Amino acid sequence: MTLTLRSSTSFINPKDNKIIKAHLHEDLYGVISFKQAKSSTRLRKRSSLQEIKMERSYKLEKLHSLSMNHHMNDLRVPVFVMLPLDTVTLGGNLNKPRAMNASLMALKSAGVEGVMVDAWWGLVEKDGPMKYNWEGYAELVQMLQKHGLKLQVVMSFHQCGGNVGDSCSIPLPPWVLEEISKNPDLVYTDRSGRRNPEYISLGCDSLPVLRGRTPIQVYADYMRSFRDRFRDYLGEVIMEVQVGAGPCGELRYPSYPQSNGTWRFPGIGEFQCYDKYMRASLEAAAESIGKRDWGSNGGPHDSGQYNQFPEDTGFFKKEGTWNTEYGKFFLEWYSGKLLQHGDRILAASKGIFHGTGAKLSAKVAGIHWHYGTRSHAAELTAGYYNTRHRNGYSPIAKMLAKHGVVFNFTCMEMKDGQQPGYANCSPEGLVRQVKMATRDAKAELAGENALERYDGGAYEQILATSRSESGNGLTAFTYLRMNKNLFEPNNWRNLVEFVKTMSEGGRNRKLPESDCSGSDLHVGFIKEKKIKEVAVV
């Protein structure tokens, strides 16, 4: 006898010692089958015609249920939560493990998929070249496994401190800083000669400037050590490795540094191409096209300063140098160097993590100020050659897609109307452009919020973005960030509701009232309210 029933599972008695096995399907819309165990109960024989009809009905019902399950899973957007920047201490230990354990329990109860953590280069390899300490991260991974949570881990080759939201200071490894002190051109440099120690300049990617190794080799050795240490967890607990490719872990130049008040919103920023390695590359590029003078003085002389507006400069103004033959040459070179850097580090990453079961991702910054102008000045100084006449995110998306890397993008929570008019912002327009670029390149798209937001309006904007049919939908969303504010009652309720709605694909779906359209719960033989067997179909 087969009975199809729509009901809650409240009739299951957890104390019933006759339950043989119970597997819970991880998917939200799983199909649970209660199969008949041995029983002395004799069922009345039915005619073969009746059996055929019931079998056909059952097959149709099961097919409908499985197809609905697949459709719902396509819509589901798993939510991760970023952990504090100081999750691992300067000494290499897990920070406040008891509080972390309690927080992870709460996140699990809220339905989040997992968490994200920065694996800081400045902590792990601080004792010397190729001397790695992963123990604090190992303790975290084991704790996550215990709670059934997944992990996104960021290979953070940048310093912590000096940018929006940085709550602690973690510089690059001491032995790397020692090399920088000997050769200051190892880090990004602006027109006035100001050095930025956030990240090693991509100009020396392929030069053995770090005690006989190139920066790309150093990053690769670091990732290889991580893979070997966590081999048993990759693809099981550790589901994603995000490869840091610049300041804040983002594939960009440090064109808008906030340390020491250098830059403030919504300044256009400055080009970062004045270390000797970048200057040599520019000179070679100019000479190769017979325009030697275009590379002799570094970058554009009329591009202004960090806190200026586009119209204050000769380069970025409406009819500025950016749209001349020289401007196009320079911007192609500058953005091209960034693309080459991303390509190099992601190619290395792909070789290291291939076959581990972990996805690779890379983060691109959501630079939405001055997006409404022709030149998109703030994006240009960061290395994104995106103007009114050119799609700068298409080549980035294609490069990431080539390596099978997820395109992780920020500012998903922002609305145009919330930004100051004088800044010519359009986060919504920017997100739409990125969604279309990733769709056309066949690259997966994941999202983050750029600033800490706990209000319903921010969540609603993320939901609207995730379910929009224009361009790519989100394959995952990572919420910034876990702290004491998140656990305030109203903030917590908003998060729980957001996670629930994202798990339903951003749509409030209700199951049908009757079984005529197919049930999610198929119940087999039950006698005297005692379940003989529970198993997933």
Q: Extract long-range pairs of 260-266: CB within 8 Å, 24+ residues apart.
A: 262/194, 262/306, 263/306, 263/307, 264/307, 265/369, 265/423, 266/309, 266/369, 266/370, 266/378, 266/420, 266/422, 266/423, 266/424, 266/425
Q: Is 449 annotated in some ligand binding site? A: yes
Tell me, rounded to whole angstroms, the distance of Cα 454 from its chain centroid: 19
Q: Is 450 annotated in some ligand binding site? A: yes
pLDDT value of residue 234: 98
Per the DSSP assignment, residues forming a β-bridge with 152 are: 116, 240
Q: How far apart are CA 142 and CA 237, in angstroms?
A: 9
**Residue among 350, 393, 363 at smallest CA distance from 152:** 363
Q: How far apart are CA 125 and CA 171, in angstroms?
A: 11
pLDDT value of residue 298: 93
pLDDT value of residue 260: 82
Interior angle at CA 498, CA 492 and CA 504, nearest 5: 145
Task: Mention every residue, 6+ apart, whose C-beta is less than 8 A from residue 417.
Answer: none
pLDDT value of residue 73: 55
Tell me, rounded to whole angstroms, the distance of Cα 456 from its chain centroid: 22
Q: How far apart are CA 432 and CA 223, in angstroms?
A: 33
SS3 165: coil
Q: Is 410 annotated in some ligand binding site? A: yes
Task: Mention every residue, 6+ apart, whose C-beta is less than 8 A from residue 370.
Answer: 266, 268, 309, 310, 376, 377, 378, 379, 423, 424, 425
Helix (H) or strand (E) holding 380: helix 377-382
**Residue among 271, 295, 292 at smallest CA distance from 282:** 295
Q: Is 118 annotated in some ligand binding site? A: yes
Which structural domains are found in the chain, ordered by start?
79-271+340-507 (3.20.20.80)
Q: Is 86 annotated in some ligand binding site? A: no
pLDDT value of residue 162: 66
Please say if 250 is a catalytic residue: yes
Q: Which of 113, 198, 240, 250 is catalytic?
A: 250
Q: Residue type for 190, please?
A: D
Please say if 198 is a catalytic residue: no
pLDDT value of residue 521: 30
pLDDT value of residue 311: 98
Mutual angle of helices 325-353 and 215-229, in 10-degree steps: 30
Q: Which of 61, 198, 240, 448 is catalytic?
A: 448
Interior angle at CA 132, CA 130 and CA 137, nearest 5: 155
Low-confidence ranges of the chain (pLDDT < 50): 1-49, 51-54, 56-72, 507-537
